[in-house]
Each structure stands twice: as C-alpha cells, then as structure tokens.
Amino acid sequence: MQFRVPKGTTDIVPDVAVKWQYLERKAVELFKTYGYKPIITPIFEHTEVFTRSIGSSTDIVQKEMYTFEDKGKRSLTLRPEGTAPVIRSYVEQNMNQLPQPVKLYYTGPMFRYERPQAGRYRQFWQIGVEAIGSDDPAVDAESILLLVNYFKAVGLKELTLYINSMGCENDRPQYIEMLKEYAEAKRESLCNDCVKRVDLNPLRLFDCKNETCQAVMADAPKLIDHLCESCSGHFDEVKHYLEMQCVNYTIKPELVRGLDYYTKTTFEIVSPLLGAQNAIGGGGRYNKLVEEFGGPSTPGIGFALGTERLALAVEKEGVFDVNENSTEVFIAVADPAAKHAAVNILYQLRSNDISSDIDYMNRSLKAQLNAANRRGIRYFVFLGSRELEAGAVVVKDMEDGAQVEVKLNELVEHLTGLVGAAK
C-alpha cells in the first residue's frame, strides 16, 4: 500500500525547500528594514473568526473552508488566510497598548478547498504583513511599496500593479444600491451564484470567474467613481506616494478582492510569467476589522503573497540565487581502519562551523566519491591509514582539481579559509 498526498497538496522537496527558505529569508530581511516584527498564530481558529471577518457570502466562507468539530464539540477551521487571525490576536493581546501602528509579518500554510490547478492548491503558503493602527495613506503606500520592492529584491522584473479604492461606510451603501439596481436589470444574463449575490452581497459580483458575468460587470457602475471626498483624497495621496517612488500602477475598478473586510485601498500584483493563476500577492485596507473583533475602532492595512506562485515566477525568471549545496566538505575514507579518526575529524570540522559529511553506506572509495560528487560537494578530504601515520591529509578542490597536502593540526584553519573564500 502506497500513500499519496491529499489532493491539492504537495511535498516541498529539499531542492525546492531551499529556494523557499531563500525567499523567506529575503522577505524577513526586507520586512525588518521596514520595521515589521514576526507573529505566529495557531493554524486553526474558532470558525467564527473567519465567518465574521471574511464575510458569510464570500467564496472562501461558502465553499472553501476546512471546518471540523473537535472532540470538545468546538467548531474549528484551518485558517484560509492570515489577516483575521492576526487581528484576533491584536485584540486578544491588547496590542492597541503598544506604540501604533503595530507592524507584523507572518509566514505559513493556509487552507482552502478550491479546485486544484497549476498555481492553485488546497494547502498553500503565504507570506504576509499587517500594519495596524494608522489610517495614514503613507502606510498604504508603504504596504504596496514593500510588496513591489520585495518582488524586485528576489529578481522579478515584469510585474503589473493594480490598485483600487473600495470606499468606506459613508460612500458604500449608496453605491451598493446603484449596483444592485444595475445587476437586477441583468439578472437573466448572470450565473446562478451571481443571482444570489445580487441580494446577498452585490460587491461579490465582481469576483465571478464566469465570462458572461464578467462581461456584464465590465459595464457596471464602479465604486471608484462614487467615492466620498475623504476616500478620494486618501486614494490621491496613495497614488502620489507611489509616483514619488516611480512605481507604475494601473487602476482596476473591478479589484474588490475575495474578502468582505476591505475598505479604501486594495491592490494586487500579477506576473506575466504565470498562467491563469497569475496573482502573486495582494492586499488592502481593513478599517473596520479590529472593531469587528471587539477591539477599539482601529484602522489597518496589509498584504499576503503566495509562496508557490512566487517561487514559480522567480524560477521562470531564472534568477534563483541560492547555493543549494549546504555541505561543503566531504571526508573520503580510503581505508576502513581510518574510520574512527575520520569521524573524529568530521566532528572537529562541524564544531568549527564547517558543513561537512562522511559516507555512512560502507561504500568503496570510488563509490564514496561518486556519491559526494552527485551531491555537488566541493572539497574532498582524503584519509587513509597512510595519511594518519603521516599526520597529514590531501584536500582536493573538485571545482578546479587543485590538490594540496595539509597537516592534520592545520586542517580546520585550512578548510575555514577555503570555505570562507568560496562564499
């Protein structure tokens, strides 16, 4: 009996995992530069954390959540996204007492029961940030610029940035009425899901993947044309900050994103290197969310990017800058009698921070070398009884074939020099 991973999930095998670690490392470096700190929340939450915040008529809540009852009869849900848990934590941990805005980042798996396809999974990883506590449009710009600059830092060149404004509680009700009226008149052309959306939550009409519905919505009134003065002023400021940093953007009035909690700015970045699932990251402002979780009225903004899609785009761009061979030195044991001494040297190297390995398969010397070569290890140390007696080993650089004899008591220093220079 052989098991396979559940549908919509994948194993992140070592060659890919090192690339992910690299992407994560670069993200953390940049997030620090922008003043963000890490936060780690549980993988599952009380179901209501998501139903209340994401919205009961969204696809995520309606169709995609992994919800289960635990043995204590609690309804729990594997997190489908990272913002709601972070805001739950902000309120629960009284982070409003900290200097505002509180700037946080997270990484980890998310779960959505979606139809799997290239770039779309049921368990996928996100890297995300949240800045909670300020309504300054400069923070919106910071969030967008952080995402843009991160993608640039990992080597992506061609990206399209879409931005939009979803307004606030002042301009939305009037607009929703207008949208409802428009959609009512087009009911016959809409899919079954969208017909329900007209009454439940007309903004969600913009999410539909159905081409006919999309064509109908292309002519629908857009929120961005009906913003109140404060929201349109806020949006102008955001655009101004982006222009100051020479970041190109395209205004996309249909960009409502699949979650109900957004207010004012929304944004998304797509890569031309990806197929149908071309959105690598996106986010927006959520000025009502903290209140929704029982906290004081507090604005916030953040984004999340998908690690699978990002890794794919960076791979396609051909710019993965990762040294995939973590092992630098291989100790080749030419004579079984030298094994104990070889293991001793191995631990000496490791305790001096030299990443090193040895054969554990009882291979012949030739087979040891083949295996180490396949692993791409650069430096070989040859050790046999003769070398032990002489108190010296041969160190070979497999890249240029250069070979030198090194005294055993100078080996650590010698290899430290080589490995350091190669880095």
What is the DSSP pairing of strand 263-270 with strand 75-78?
unpaired
State CA 314 to chain mean position distance.
Answer: 13
Least distance (Å) from ligand AMP to the CB of residue 242? 19
Asked if residue 279 binds ligand AMP (CB under 6 A), the reply is yes
Residue 327: which residues within 8 A CB-CB, separation 6 or more?
A: 355, 356, 357, 375, 377
Asked if residue 121 binds ligand AMP (CB under 6 A), the reply is yes
Q: Which residue has the tokens 């070889």?
A: 342
Select the residue interacting with ligand AMP from 19, 52, 88, 112 (CB under 6 A). 112
> Angle formed by the axes of helices 14-33 and 137-153, to 10°?
140
Select the residue interacting with ligand AMP from 280, 289, 312, 341 (CB under 6 A). 280
Least distance (Å) from ligand AMP to the CB of residue 60? 8
At residue 264, the 3 state secondary structure works out as strand
Select the residue interacting with ligand AMP from 23, 31, 39, 81 (CB under 6 A). 81
> Hey, which residues does 407 pair with through a beta bridge?
392
Asked if residue 300 binds ligand AMP (CB under 6 A), the reply is no
Residues 321, 155 contacting (CB under 8 angstroms): yes
Q: In this chain, which stretch among 26-34, 39-47, 114-122, 150-158 interacts with ligand AMP, using CB under 6 A?
A: 114-122
Asked if residue 120 binds ligand AMP (CB under 6 A), the reply is yes
Nearer of residues 121 and 235 to ligand AMP, judged by Cβ: 121
Select the residue interacting with ligand AMP from 12, 67, 113, 114 (CB under 6 A). 114
Select the residue interacting with ligand AMP from 44, 124, 262, 382 (CB under 6 A). 124
Q: In this chain, which stretch among 91-99, 113-121, 169-177, 396-404 interacts with ligand AMP, using CB under 6 A?
A: 113-121
Separation of alpha carbons 249 and 202, rounded Å: 26
Radius of gyration (C-alpha) of the chain in whole angstroms? 28
Least distance (Å) from ligand AMP to the CB of residue 305? 6
Q: In this chain, which stretch among 144-152, 196-204, 290-298, 299-307 interacts with ligand AMP, using CB under 6 A?
A: 299-307
b/e map 154-169, b = 16+ CB within 10 Å: bebeebebbbbbbbbe
Residues 163, 255 contacting (CB under 8 angstroms): yes
Asked if residue 126 binds ligand AMP (CB under 6 A), the reply is yes
Asked if residue 260 binds ligand AMP (CB under 6 A), the reply is no
Q: In this chain, which stretch among 85-93, 201-209, 279-287, 409-417 interacts with ligand AMP, using CB under 6 A?
A: 279-287
Select the residue interacting with ligand AMP from 308, 328, 357, 387 (CB under 6 A). 308
Asked if residue 397 binds ligand AMP (CB under 6 A), the reply is no
In the complex, residue closest to ligand AMP by CB: 306
Asked if residue 79 binds ligand AMP (CB under 6 A), the reply is no
Least distance (Å) from ligand AMP to the CB of residue 318? 20
Rounded to a whole number, what is the largest CA-CA distance in the chain?
93
Select the residue interacting with ligand AMP from 281, 295, 299, 384 (CB under 6 A). 281
Q: Which helix (H) or strand (E) holds 227?
A: none
Residue 258: which residues within 8 A CB-CB, separation 6 or more?
A: 58, 59, 60, 207
Q: Which residue has the tokens 């999309």?
A: 214
Q: Residues 82, 256, 235, CA angle at the centre, nearest 5°?
A: 100
Least distance (Å) from ligand AMP to the CB of residue 341? 51
Residues 148, 40 contacting (CB under 8 angstroms): no
Assigned token pair, 334: 């030419």
Residues 266, 282 contacting (CB under 8 angstroms): yes
Nearer of residues 241 and 286 to ligand AMP, judged by Cβ: 286
Q: Which residue has the tokens 């080589």?
A: 418
Least distance (Å) from ligand AMP to the CB of residue 267? 10
Least distance (Å) from ligand AMP to the CB of residue 289? 14
Total number of residues that touch ligand AMP (CB under 6 A): 18
Assigned token pair, 317: 């761009």
What residues line the site for ligand AMP (CB under 6 A)?
81, 112, 114, 120-121, 124, 126, 257-258, 279-282, 304-306, 308-309
